[in-house]
A and B are shown apart, each in its own frame.
Chain A
């Protein structure tokens, strides 16, 4: 059932998005761990289609919000609108009221709009005119981000970045995959081809199963040691936060479940580590200027290889 779920989701998404199996698997881990995902890649690497197909095969509600520089928080969470007919204020819910919200190009919106998502992401509710409204369950923000070198982008504040469980990088596809993408696009893309692989009650059952996945004390110590190691590394100015560890343990659980296990092994942690830490670690600027710091992902891998897992 567990491993079937991963392969079934990947199989369905593959019908419309070619060569994104790894990324699809990570999205599933993030969803089952009740986390949010940050997708980073240049325009045109199937980020939106991936999100749509993923939501469809899980039978989840999906909405997309295109973030722009002139956007207001109201455009995301909604607000009270005066109804001329009934002469009353009515709640008009924003696109955040869905299961999967695709926040497209999140870093094009000004910080106050980005912050509007914070409450939704953390508390699973929004406050409109002092009234708290619960969001549907499950709720997941899938935000796409353009690389910072692009024009007209605002960097996401660390506090908001920390709320994303994983960052999934979507690089350009290989030549072989690119040929397949072009071939696929010769005929119209049909999202209807994507079939739902799990029902809503089954999905809810899976969420509770993931929460039952055992994490031994030694694995918890291992996680803490990794965090300490990131903080003591001279090349890092901001190491892993406690929230990062919470996200790491939840995502490791979801990965263990999808691998058909009822307990977490060090390999689950190692598999999720780069995706959970890559957007959280800040490298020391002086070391970067000296050119002595590798890419952050390489650094994370170096750090974890210095920490002995429980054996």
Chain B
């Protein structure tokens, strides 16, 4: 009986820890979303040089054949570039596909790490 209790509590604790690790905060801001993507790209491709550009990073991720809409990601990237380098207004809300890609690449890494 004691052993059964221990087994139940241990698996419960393990499940809670796993669930906490899987919880991702909501990304509402575009700059945060792309910051998240940068971190995820660095984690997934440790050999990426310091001088990589968004396009190079996204192109590298594209080779992985992940289930994301590359069209939407390209569109979001173009809008972000316009904001970042062209003085355009900040695109809102945060692009969902970029966040999705970052989450897939990071494999559970949380924001702020």
Contacts and interface: CB of A to CB of B under 8 A. Distances in A.
Interface residues of A, number: 20
Contacts of A263: 81-82, 85-87
A311 B50 CA distance: 11
A129 B34 CA distance: 61
A263 B34 CA distance: 19
B53 A214 contact: no
Given A214-B87, A311-B34, A265 B81 contact: yes
Where chain A touches its partner, the secondary structure class is loop
A307 B52 CA distance: 9
Contacts of B49: 305-306
B53 A264 contact: no
A266 B84 CA distance: 11
B38 interface: yes
Where chain B touches its partner, the secondary structure class is helix
A305 B55 CA distance: 14
A310 B84 contact: yes
Contacts of B82: 263
A94 interface: no
B53 A216 contact: no
B51 A306 contact: yes
B85 A218 contact: yes
A276 to B, nearest CB: 16
A8 interface: no
Contacts of A216: 84-87
A304 B51 contact: yes
Interface in B64-83: 81-82
A262 B56 CA distance: 20
B50 A214 contact: no
Nearest to A222: B51
Given A311-B34, A311-B38, A267 B86 contact: no
A308 B1 CA distance: 60
A309 interface: yes
Interface string A256-289: 0000011111110010000000000000000000
Given A214-B87, A218-B85, A219-B85, A265 B51 contact: no
A305 B50 contact: yes
B54 interface: yes
10 contacts: A214-B87, A216-B85, A263-B85, A263-B87, A264-B85, A266-B53, A266-B54, A305-B50, A305-B51, A311-B54
